[in-house]
Each structure stands twice: as structure tokens, then as C-alpha cells.
Amino acid sequence: MNSPYLYVYCLCKDSPSLHDLQIRGIGSEPVLLLSHRGVVVAHSRVAWKAASLRKQAKKVSWITSRVREHEYVVEEIMRNYAILPMKFLTLFRSERSLLNTLDPHLPVLLNYLEHLHDKEEWSLKVYSNKVEGLKYLQESDAYLGRMNHKTPNTPGERYLHMKRMQELVLERFGENLHEMVENVYEMLSHLSEEGKTLNVYGRTVTKSGEEDVVFNGVFLVSKQKFETFREKVKSLKECYRPRGLSFELTGPWPPYNFCPDMEETVSNKVRPLNKSKIELSLRGAKATKQSQM
């Protein structure tokens, strides 16, 4: 194999048992373990050329297969070890360029890996069925009930009252929704090491039909506390079901959302592909996972 690149899957703290791992990754190449100052780099050597790689990246079938191979290695290692996962198609020209990139950041990386020990990333999405939510609100909100029982005298007054009631219902619905979402995040944050809110992408199709995504978050949860965390999610799910909310808890995921910011360390790295295309492919692969609830 002539001048192979190093394809990096993840980093983890060195451990004697880790070196017994025998798996294959990208293109069925063996996964190699490079030890360096307390950190292990899980990688494969791939004989790729940048020009041919750009062509392959246009093929959905090729990208899909490589993403699965990448995720397989990451998930196999994270079963027993805290990891810093690398993005799909992280390549280095040589061991020296890889180690030169890592060396200035080793203290941060080791602290991160220590912090992540026995913890997992879990994703939570909360959906709102607006029809069910409005129905519950109109039946249960005492203030709306009092306002709705007012009887204006003239047709014009009745029309204005109806319009005001429509506006008031939507206003109260938005306030209640915001309060519920804040409560979900606050209660689950108390049961996790860290929590983060991610972008909400609007309406989506769920088992219940078309619903709005009103919360999209991730939590770093201790393995010892996960059952308590999951039970709280179930409790919130049952509490808010009558109000039109549904919950989707998935994981554990590689802790991409809790990685230290290493964007400034890529000067020696090969970047032969468009970054946004790769990240989109990786998100697509994650979306195929089944809910754990």
C-alpha cells in the first residue's frame, strides 16, 4: 500500500484491555491503535487518492456504506471506553502530522476523556400536536373559560370578541408550551452532567401524524443515573400526553455534542470533501436508529 492516509475514528484513554480489540472498519481495513502520551488513536490505513475520493463522495451508496463502517467502529469502542469521536472522513497524511496536531491539546483531551468516563449522550425530542394541545387548553384553562362565557350584545361586539378569543387562546397556548419545554429541560438537566439545546427544525411527521418539534436537546448522563433519567422522561411523557406532547428519547450516541472545540487543530488534516455534505450524511445515518422508549 503506497503512502496510505490515516483515517481516524476516535480517541480514548490508553488501557491494556483496549489493545485486545480486533475489529475492521472503513473498507474492511483493520482498526489499528496508536498509543501516544496516555491517549490512543483508533484508526485505519486507507490507500485513497483525493481525486477519486471526491468522485466516490458523490455516490450515495458509497457514502452510506462508509458512514456505517465509521459508526460501527465508534460504537464498538464506546461500549467500554470513554471516547472523543471524530467526524466522518477525518484523515491525516501521516502519524507525524496526526501527533503534531494532538500534542498541543493533550491536557484538554485527557481532561475531557476523564470527564466523560461512565457517561453517555442521550437525545430527546419533544413534539407538539397543536390540535390536541388547543383542545386541552380550552377545556382546562379557567381564565379562557370565564372569557368565553361573556355574551356581547351586538353582532359587531360578538365578532370582535370571537377574534379576541382566538388570539388569546393562541397566546396562552404559546406561553404554556414554552413553560412546559422549560420545565422538561430544567428537570432533566438536574439528572444529567450536562445538557444542551439544539436547533429546532419545525414540523415533522411522527407516528401520530404531522407535529411540531418544540424541543431538541441532548444530555450527558451518568450510566449509574440513566435509569432514573429515563424514568423521569417517562413520567414527563405521561404528564404532558394529555396536553398534546410526545417524547422521543434515543441513544446512547457518540458524544459529538459534548466534545471540546478542536476546529483550530485541523491545519495538517486532509479535507478533500465538502464539510456540510459529510455532516449531512452522518446525521442521516443517526436518524436510522430506533427509539429506546
CATH of 120-253 given 3.30.70, 3.90.550, 3.40.190, 1.20.58: 3.30.70
Report pLDDT digits (tens) over 221-233: 999 999 999 999 9
User: By the 8 A CB rule, do 52 and 272 touch?
Assistant: no
207 SS3 class: coil
Report pLDDT digits (tens) over 113-161: 999 999 999 999 999 988 887 887 767 665 555 656 566 666 765 556 5
> Domain boundaries in the chain?
5-117+260-286, 120-253
Q: Which of 74, 93, 67, 84 shows the shortest CA–CA distance to 23?
A: 74
In angstroms, the CA 83 to CA 8 distance is 12
| Residue 162 pLDDT grade (very low, low, confident, very high; cuts 50, 70, 90) | low
> How far is CA 16 from each of CA 20, 21, 38, 103, 193, rounded to the nearest angstrom?
8, 10, 11, 22, 28
